[in-house]
């Protein structure tokens, strides 16, 4: 998890050090089949993050600080700069227009909720699962 720690830890303020999130890394198109299967038993949230965007970083940090229901939803993290092909396939398979940052909720193999930018809110997501 040092990868996530390096990306997300602040350089000036270390009191928010490591993320409390237990992210599943989404790095291959083939994983989308697993996500679809998993979503039949438990909803899956995909957070699409641009490592080059400060707005994306702020949305991610806020989401991580608020997310406290991994028992109800399985969180996946996509670095869309490194894995743009996966991001494109998410758009194709789930019919959700690409945005960054973006949170997509998959339930029973379908995208049932999507939020972008400042609309990404763990509290709202919790009401959708």
Per-residue pLDDT in tens (0 to 9) along the chain, 129 residues: 444 444 444 433 333 334 678 999 999 999 999 999 999 999 999 999 999 999 999 999 999 999 999 999 999 999 999 999 999 999 999 999 999 999 999 999 999 999 999 999 999 999 998
The residues facing 83 across adjacent strands are none
Burial class (CB within 10 angstroms; exposed 0-12, middle 13-18, buried 19+) of 99? buried
């Amino acid at each position: 998890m040092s990868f996530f720690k390096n990306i997300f830890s602040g350089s000036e303020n270390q009191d928010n050090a490591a993320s409390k999130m237990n992210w599943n890394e989404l790095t291959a198109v083939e994983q989308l089949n697993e996500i679809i299967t998993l979503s039949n038993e438990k909803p899956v949230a995909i957070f699409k993050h641009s490592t080059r965007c400060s707005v994306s970083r702020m949305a991610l940090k806020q989401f991580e600080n608020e997310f406290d229901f991994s028992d109800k939803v399985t969180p996946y993290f996509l670095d869309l700069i490194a894995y743009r092909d996966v991001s494109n396939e998410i758009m194709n398979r789930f019919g959700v227009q690409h945005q960054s940052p973006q949170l997509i909720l998959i339930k029973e193999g379908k995208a049932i909720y999507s939020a972008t930018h400042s609309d990404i809110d763990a509290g709202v997501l919790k009401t959708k699962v």
